[in-house]
């Protein structure tokens, strides 16, 4: 995963529609995303150009455990653990990260069933953003936190967008400029508005993969359904306004869906 690849629109919403040529495979729901600002700003002509998408991702729902769960249990406790273990192994996604993706998709199925986002969409984003919380040799712990922060480039306007500090360095350790943070690479200002506490520990933490993934799912679903190719593309572009990024996420999501069903 190349953290320099991103750095363009996550910080604010898409204001204009991007024309796209789309060849659709089969879409049963969901879509993809990725936060932060792209490492180099695109020219106006490039940002307006249509970008062909080979296919929209096939979304694969996460099955719920057969044994009834308590209302107080976390979303990841509702997942069929045998299925999760098997599918994580087939796809090569670390199990702890896989559980976060599946749990967020189940939570959104409950909160906003019309959205249709699924685990393989979130896994596609997680791969591109941080290699499933392993970028730079970082280790994802059983708690869902990483052994050290995953930080994007300093957004000081030199080779990146300019975003001055918005969190007094709380999350990114920089009191002058912002940096994207965590497994899903949220900018602190975006996190302040959208951050979720998925693990119910009382803190919405962008470095905790359950929190970060649920936040990403809610962000992607904020403008409505992702069940159509157009809706999926719009959601992903709201996360990162880059056609290349959307294509890479779609490719990863489709690869995970194929491996899961093999």
Classified as helix, coil or strand, 62 is: coil
pLDDT at 220: 96
Distances from the Cα of 14 to the Cα of 90, 235, 239, 240, 242, angstroms: 35, 9, 9, 9, 11
Q: Which two tokens stand for residue 54?
A: 């080979």
Percent residues over pLDDT 90 in the chain:
55
Tokens 């995303």 correspond to what residue? 33
Q: Which two tokens stand for residue 21?
A: 């040529």
- Write down the mean pLDDT value for the chain: 77
Above 80 in pLDDT, residue 49? no
What's the number of domains the chain is made of? Answer: 1
Percent residues over pLDDT 70 in the chain:
73
Above 80 in pLDDT, residue 13? no
pLDDT (tens digit, 9 = 90+) per residue, 211-252?
Answer: 999 999 999 999 889 999 999 999 999 999 999 999 999 999
Quote the pTM value. Answer: 0.75
- State which residues form the domain around 100: 3-261
Above 50 in pLDDT, residue 50? no
- Full DSSP string of 131-144: TTTTGGG--B-TTS
- Full DSSP string of 64-108: BPSS---TTS-GGGGB-HHHHHHHHHHHT--HHHHHHHHHHHHHH
pLDDT (tens digit, 9 = 90+) per residue, 58-91?
Answer: 455 555 544 444 445 787 888 888 999 999 999 9
Q: For residues 133 and 97, is the Cβ–Cβ distance under 8 A?
A: yes
Please name the helix (run of DSSP H) or strand (run of DSSP E) that holds residue 238, with its range, or none. Answer: helix 229-239
């Amino acid at each position: 995963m190349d953290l320099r690849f991103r750095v363009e629109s996550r910080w604010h919403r898409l204001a204009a529609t991007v024309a796209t040529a789309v060849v659709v495979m089969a879409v049963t729901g969901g879509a993809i995303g990725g936060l932060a600002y792209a490492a180099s700003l695109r020219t106006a002509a490039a940002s307006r150009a249509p970008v062909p998408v080979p296919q929209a991702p096939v979304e694969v729902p996460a099955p719920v455990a057969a044994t009834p769960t308590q209302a107080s249990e976390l979303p990841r406790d509702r997942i069929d653990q045998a299925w999760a273990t098997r599918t994580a192994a087939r796809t090569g996604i670390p199990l702890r990260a896989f559980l976060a993706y599946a749990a967020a998709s189940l939570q959104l199925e409950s909160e906003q069933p019309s959205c249709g986002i699924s685990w393989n969409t979130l896994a596609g984003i997680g791969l591109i953003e941080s290699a499933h919380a392993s970028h730079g040799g970082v280790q994802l712990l059983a708690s869902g936190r990483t052994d050290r922060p995953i930080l994007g480039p300093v957004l000081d306007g030199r080779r990146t967008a300019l975003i001055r500090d918005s969190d007094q360095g709380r999350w990114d350790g920089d009191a002058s400029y912002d940096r994207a943070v965590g497994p899903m690479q949220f900018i602190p200002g975006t996190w302040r508005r959208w951050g979720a506490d998925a693990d119910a520990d009382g803190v919405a933490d962008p470095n905790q993969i359950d929190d970060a993934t649920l936040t990403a799912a809610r962000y992607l679903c904020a403008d409505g359904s992702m069940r159509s190719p157009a809706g999926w593309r719009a959601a992903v572009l709201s996360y990162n306004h880059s056609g290349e990024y959307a294509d890479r996420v779609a490719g990863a999501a489709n690869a995970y869906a194929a491996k899961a069903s093999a």
